[in-house]
Structure 1
Amino acid sequence: MDLKSDHKPLWNLSKLYDDEHQQKYKNLFIEKIETVYDQIKNAINTNNIEPDINYIANQLTDCIHTSLEESVGRRIPQPPQVKWFWNDELESAFQDREQCYR
């Protein structure tokens, strides 16, 4: 599944209560974070080069997202539940809000 989809990613985080899924997430994250750790360590050891903090932050986020994807999987976003107060105006506002996050 592509991590750059139109919707904000949602994962089956409740699976992390299960020891097997939790351990799988930890192992994947530890494996993936090594490159980020090496980049930070190199930046510290070479005082004359400033690290690209945005790049490192994006790499860290990618490690978290990929580890979650591979350990617990994604959840499909549920459409808002139809309630007595849900009307066309609220639906339009909801769609506008969702568009802002794309």
Structure 2
Amino acid sequence: MVLRVGAHGEDFAEDEVVARLAGPGLPVPPVLARGEAEGWACAMSGRVRGTALDDLSGEAVARTLPSLLRALDAAARVDIADTSGYGIRGPDALAP
């Protein structure tokens, strides 16, 4: 688990929506709880381990490319029919 703290609680609300919509083909950790403490927004999330693409060697990127393309394909197939608007979404999946 990971405790995330930041100034913008709406970011964590957006993460909650994305985790709910992502489906099995995308490694998006669930947001288990959100709240505020002393003026800071916080969220408890599941942890996903891995290495950022920028930190991989050229050879490692080449090995990773098939799974990256599968993840992009899965992202393109996410059903967003129950969402609306653009920008940061709240827990109801609606954005301004």
State TM-score, norm by structure 2. 0.27
Larger Rg: 1
Q: Flag the structure with more relative contact order, 1 or 2, with Cα contacts below 8 A and sequence separation at least 6.
A: 1
Normalized per residue, which structure has more strand? 2
TM-score, normalised to structure 1's length? 0.26
Q: Which has the larger helix fraction?
A: 1
